[in-house]
């Protein structure tokens, strides 16, 4: 069952100000069933989901959303298409990042979003097909706010192709500041920055950029982002495939010190 569904159920339960044991007793459930439900592990029927949501007095609109998630996330993945067309603002991604304790990113063409400077972001947006319905200042603010999740209690691994370092987004001054920012972030003990050099030619990440999120209480999930949609994959076959990609990238990428040396060589 999907993580976003589990998050929604947990929020509903928290609003009751009751413990899991109290709620389970009043519903005549085993406490383990309620715990599994919150963790997105399944084991309940749609009727039982409705019973719990009614007990928690969840508003009808939220009940419909959670039931839709309950049905959809029995599939191998689930697609999010936000109304404003900005995948970074999808609530489910933000929630997943807050829950994850290990975040691994592969970025083939651009500096990863979490490591971008504001000027780099603005230059990227200037080159996109822009929508009048989107407030791009809010987009940049939201992306910068994601930096708040950088914390020593989490582990971040970034695999970045060398071509992303050499793509002159915004011009020389913007790129110089961006590369200096990468070096500064790479000094943090909980951030690992690994560059895949152009010199090796074909590499494991040619299929495209993605993010792997690992959790203490859930199975991992893979996040793919497109122009106007985002896709979460949580089936075993996809997880196995992307895990193998990361293992190969780990062998193909420069180590952390070599990666810093490469960035410094571009700055000279």
Cβ atoms of 263 and 161 closer than 8 Å: no
Q: Which residues of 174-183 are buried (b: 16+ CB within 10 A; e: fewer)?
A: bbeebbebbe
Look at residue 3 in the predicted model and tell me its pLDDT: 67
52-111 pLDDT, tens per residue?
Answer: 888 899 888 888 888 877 776 555 555 554 554 444 444 566 677 878 899 999 999 999
Q: Is the pLDDT of residue 249 over 90?
A: yes
CB atoms within 10 A of CB 194: 19
Q: Is the pLDDT of residue 223 over 60?
A: yes
**If you ran DSSP here, which 8-state letter would residue 113 be given?**
G
Residue 159 phi, psi (nearest 5): -100, 125
Tell me the mean pLDDT in the region 230-253. 91
Helix or strand holding residue 208 (H, E):
none
Range with lowest mean pLDDT among 96-105, 108-117, 129-138: 129-138
SS3 258: helix
Look at residue 264 in the predicted model and tell me its pLDDT: 96
Cβ atoms of 178 and 116 closer than 8 Å: yes
Dist. CA 219–CA 217, nearest whole Å: 7
Look at residue 135 in the predicted model and tell me its pLDDT: 62
Look at residue 262 in the predicted model and tell me its pLDDT: 97
Tokens describing residue 103: 């975040």
Look at residue 75 in the predicted model and tell me its pLDDT: 52
pTM over 0.75? The answer is no
Tell me the mean pLDDT in the region 4-21. 84
Measured between alpha carbons, how far is residue 82 from residues 58, 93, 119 in Å?
Answer: 23, 11, 25
Tokens describing residue 96: 């997943």
Measured between alpha carbons, how far is residue 94 from residues 158, 184, 204, 219 in Å?
Answer: 18, 24, 27, 17
Q: Is the pLDDT of residue 230 over 80?
A: no
Tell me the mean pLDDT in the region 226-236. 75
pLDDT mean across residues, the chain = 83
| pLDDT above 90 coverage of the chain, percent | 40
CB atoms within 10 A of CB 2: 22
């Amino acid at each position: 069952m999907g993580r976003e569904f589990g998050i929604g159920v947990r929020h509903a339960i928290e609003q009751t100000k009751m413990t899991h044991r109290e709620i389970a007793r009043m519903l005549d459930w085993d406490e383990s069933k309620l715990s599994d439900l919150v963790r997105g592990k399944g084991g309940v029927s749609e009727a039982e989901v409705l019973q719990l949501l009614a007990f928690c007095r969840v508003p009808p609109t939220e009940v419909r959303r959670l039931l839709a998630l309950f049905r959809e996330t029995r599939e191998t993945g689930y697609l999010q298409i936000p109304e404003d067309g900005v995948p970074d603002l999808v609530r489910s991604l933000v929630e997943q990042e807050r829950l994850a304790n290990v975040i691994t990113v592969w970025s083939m063409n651009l500096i990863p979003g979490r490591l971008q400077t504001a000027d780099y972001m603005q230059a990227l947006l200037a080159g996109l097909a822009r929508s009048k319905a989107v407030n791009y200042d809010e987009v940049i603010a939201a992306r910068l706010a994601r930096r708040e999740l950088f914390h020593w209690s989490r582990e971040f691994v970034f695999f970045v192709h060398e071509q992303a370092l050499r793509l002159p987004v915004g011009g020389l001054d913007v790129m110089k500041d961006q590369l200096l920012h990468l070096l500064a972030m790479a000094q943090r003990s909980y951030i690992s920055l690994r560059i895949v050099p152009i010199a090796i030619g074909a590499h494991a990440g040619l299929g495209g950029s993605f993010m792997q999120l690992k959790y203490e209480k859930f199975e991992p999930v893979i996040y793919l982002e497109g122009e106007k949609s985002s896709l979460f994959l949580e089936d075993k076959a996809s997880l196995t495939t992307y895990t193998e990609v990361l293992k190969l990238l780990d062998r193909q990428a420069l180590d952390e010190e070599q990666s810093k040396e490469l960035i410094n060589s571009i700055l000279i």
